[in-house]
Amino acid sequence: MLACLLMAGTAMAQSLLTPEQLAKREKRKNLTVKEWNTDSSTKTRWLDRIKVYDAQGRCIEEIEYATYGQKWRVTSTYDDVTGKVVEEVEYNDRNKPTRIRKYEWNADGTKAKQYNYLPNGKLFSVKVFEYIFSKE
């Protein structure tokens, strides 16, 4: 029963995606992308960024580096039914959490609210998204 519900939820979440988005995700399944920079004069090479994707092709971790090491890191958690991001945790250069974002989504797949928390779990602010379509 639970497997049927999960499969139905996954099918519903994927139905919100365009064929192009689905094809992109398919290519990124279990992928790690490393971006490298090279100094033009010294030819010194250093790691600039890493992106890690899960088995569904969703970005679950992104790390940016400087020459001295990690600048920041963000991890993302997704809802198994909708496939949407439900939480992001941002870390500083010392790998300590600095901000936690939790999301609520509208039925049409657009963001409804973003809750911003301090590392101690205290609510810092709430961002509400309003969508206005012009008739032009």
* Domains of the chain listed by start with CATH number: 2-128 (2.40.128)
| Residues facing 105 on adjacent strands | 111
Which residues, 6+ apart, have CB-to-CB distance to 47 below 8 Å? 34, 35, 36, 37, 65
Helix (H) or strand (E) holding 69, with range, is strand 69-78
Q: Does residue 57 register a pLDDT over 70?
A: yes
Indicate the pLDDT class of residue 118, thresholds 50, 70 and 90: very high
Q: Which of the pair, 108 or 116, is modelled with greater confidence?
A: 116
Position 20 scores a pLDDT of: 83
Q: Is the pLDDT of residue 9 over 90?
A: no
On average, the pLDDT of the chain sits at 87
Least confidently predicted of 38-47, 88-97, 118-127: 38-47
